[in-house]
Amino acid sequence: MAKPKKKFEPVSLPMLPLRGLMIFPHMVLHFDVGRKKSIAALEQAMLGDQRIFLVAQRDVDVDDPAIDDIYHVGTIACIKQVLKLPGDNIRLLVEGKHRAVLRAVTQEEPYFEAALDELIPQGTVVSIETDALLRTAHHYFEEYCKMSGRVSGETMQSVMEIEDPGQLADVIAANVLTKVDDRQELLEEFDDLMRLEAVCAVLVRETELAGVEKKVQARVRKQIEQNQKDYFLREQIKAIQTELGDKDAGDVEDLRERLEKTPMNEEAADKARREIERLSRMAPGSPEIGVSRTYIETLLDLPWGKNTPDNLDLKRARRILSEDHYGLDEVKERVIEYLAVCRIKNNLKGPILCFVGPPGVGKTSIVKSIARALGRKFVQMSLGGVRDEAEIRGHRRTYIGAIPGRIISSIKQAGTMNPVFLFDEIDKMASDVRGDPASAMLEVLDSAQNNAFRDHYLEVPFDLSSVMFITTANSVDTIPRPLLDRMELIEVSGYTEDEKLNIAKRHLLPKQIEEHGLAAKSVRVSDKMMRELICGYTLEAGVRRLQRTIGKVVRKSAVEMIDEGVETVTVTQEKLTKYLGAPRYTYEKAGKKPEIGVVNGLAYTVVGGDTLQIETTIMPGSGILELTGNLGDVMKESAKAAKSYVRAHAEELGIQQDFYKKLDIHIHVPEGAVPKDGPSAGVTMTTAIVSALTGIAVRQNVAMTGEVTLRGRVLPIGGLKEKLLAAHRAGIDTVIIPKENLKDLEEVPQKVRDAIRIVPAENVRTVLETALCEPLKKKEDTVHA
């Protein structure tokens, strides 16, 4: 098919750039003009033949376009109407005539004058292909109109009557295409048949899209109609219930609205939805209404999806932890490690930590500081004396007055899903016929299971994996092994005298002064008097009693301030005795006269380390071993093992070999009202027996700890740090420890290590050589008093 040649004629016209729109030939368009250059171009066109070149801008945000900001193909239009609007704006009505190509801009001020090549239509050669293309375009446009419903019937009829391919392509494009870029692409196609073919492809695509849109709209409309129907029916039910005097109908709707806004998991949402429907069908006045409503409100009140953002500033966390607590370096370092990993991995599960240590060392208060450092909410649950499993998991709703467990209640109280949760005194839990709460804690403190914790009351899974669980205990001995295995143990040891002095000066004294309403530094206590207070009036691993004692001093000082009319009080030795009385505790200092059969042992108790004097005496008898002092089974067995060792090695120890037939041995551990147990007094008892049988005195500046075997080996023990702290407090300068415990000396403060001579022992011979005042001599006959 022969195509007519294109004919271009040069012409010069005023140019008006258009923003966000463009015009095709054969198209009538009205728009507003407000830019000064555009108004000037319009005025120039009106002075001439009322023709103007309209071309689209590439970027609608450019207010003063340059030649590169506009397309180079536009439309020459004829101005049909000009209407002046308020505010210096003009509304135009124009009709597109011919395409034109911009060759150059000959003038930019006060308006654009453009040199153009105007495309003069030459008509299209009639052929079978042309007729087929026209018919196809008419068919596709008719289908598009029926499918989309966006084109009026009059417009469709007028388009169906167009027989010129170029005009048909332009009119269809003007009615179908919405994007300026798509329109410009068709405007720049000068061949009528190629342009009409491209329009046919656009019509096919737009018809398919319109069909899909129609289906989507139908589905959405159906859903909206169903929702409107449900809403209408609920409103009718609500009106009927109001007429019947049912006041709960409005509450049900409020619960429904809250449910839609609460981002709970699918199972919980389904459970709440079914319970709300059940509530809506209950008869007014039914006793089940209150139970059902309470359950739904409990579900909705939980902090589903609410998380407190962590403050991951390591410097700030270190500062807060150091401000609140002195020492506790291992605890602080573990918190800093957690924050550092959280900065790298956002979805880290909350750690499960267990702080083990004597009372009063700051286990509970450091947890509050951890919550403050992280920027999280803090909740606390005391497990001391808890015997009922329902305290942890809640009561089933079949019981009257059922409530959720204390874990869910605490999470609800916190208002967030990632608080710092403290289980205090986890070693004080007990079990009876009502269940074993320690077993119920297994799921809570297992990071692999607690993401779907099921409270008996809720009966739906609740995610606890973001919670930072921290537990405290005085001893791990009473914690069940499976529960202990789920926690990361961090030992919090007792404080040395220097640490207590720093804590008292930095924290306890200022806090007590503030709590009693006194001015800062109004009560002055020197380091010497503070040490006297610590050593003479308190005996503990922690600082709880020290805090109460300082509080008493502050109160006595307040009375003196008022009586004497002074503003400050300096605590002296005389005033300390006046306020608190005579010192209650005295420490045996090193250098005391050596004694026969008396040995300093070291013990580790729930309140920290302590010194333990073991006394042994011998008397004529039949070889009976008498043990007193409220000793446990393990300690009694240690005494028997010590006697057997001495009997087996009597000759090399310089002891009469038949002593076990003629002499009774009595071992007593003072403070008989205090129960004592454990194997670590083995070497102490052995030394006491040897001293009593040989008559060789034991140095009282020496203390010892270690388990002894029948072959005389010294086995490792626990609680070395606490035992050395106790020895340091008592003024002992030499301590014998098992050699295998040398690795534990890293935990002991450097000042204590410098003050005490540590003697590692592998066997009893080393212990005896260090502790006894005289060397042992091998004798055949030793006389005993």
Contact 169, 136 (CB under 8 A): no
Cα of first residue to Cα of last residue in the chain, in angstroms, is 142
Evaluated on CA atoms 767, 768, 770, 772, the torsion sign reads: positive
**Rounded-to-integer distance, Cα 286 and Cα 157, Å:** 68
Angle at 42 between CA 36 and CA 47, to 5 degrees: 130
**Rounded-to-integer distance, Cα 181 and Cα 51, Å:** 25
**Rounded-to-integer distance, Cα 75 and Cα 96, Å:** 6
Residues in the chain: 785
Helices 180-187, 192-243: crossing angle, 10 deg rounding = 160
The first and second tokens of residue 757, run together, are 């001579």
Separate counts of helices (H) and strands (E) for the chain: 27, 24
User: Minimal CA–CA distance to 462: which of 509, 404, 408, 508?
Assistant: 408
> Which residues have C-beta within 8 Å of that of residue 356, sequence separation ≥ 6?
472, 473, 474, 475, 476, 489, 490, 491, 492
The first and second tokens of residue 375, run together, are 């920027």
The single residue of 723, 751, 778, 779 carrying the catalytic annotation is: 723
**Rounded-to-integer distance, Cα 422 and Cα 481, Å:** 20
Contact 300, 273 (CB under 8 A): no
Contact 125, 1 (CB under 8 A): yes
User: Minimal CA–CA distance to 733: which of 632, 608, 589?
Assistant: 589
Contact 73, 102 (CB under 8 A): yes
**680 labelled catalytic:** yes
**Rounded-to-integer distance, Cα 374 and Cα 293, Å:** 36
Report helix, strand or coil for 712: coil
User: Minimal CA–CA distance to 422: which of 383, 454, 470, 464?
Assistant: 470
**What is the CA 5 to chain-centroid distance, rounded?**
76
**H or E segment to which residue 37 belongs:** helix 36-47
Contact 263, 305 (CB under 8 A): yes
Evaluated on CA atoms 695, 696, 699, 703, the torsion sign reads: negative
Identify whether 461 is preceded by a cis peptide bond (ω within 30 of 0).
no
The first and second tokens of residue 82, run together, are 């000009």
Contact 420, 374 (CB under 8 A): yes
> Which residues have C-beta within 8 Å of that of residue 22, sequence separation ≥ 6?
54, 55, 56, 74, 75, 180, 183, 184, 187
Radius of gyration in angstroms for the set of CA atoms belonging to the chain, rounded to a whole number: 47
Evaluated on CA atoms 705, 708, 713, 717, the torsion sign reads: negative
The single residue of 280, 680, 691, 721 carrying the catalytic annotation is: 680
Contact 32, 85 (CB under 8 A): yes
Report helix, strand or coil for 372: helix
**Rounded-to-integer distance, Cα 93 and Cα 468, Å:** 71
Which 3-state string (H, E, C) describes 540-608?
CCCCHHHHHHHHHHHHHHHHHHHHHCCCCEEECHHHHHHHHCCCCCCCCCCCCCCECCEEEEEEEECCE
Which residues are identified as catalytic? 680, 723
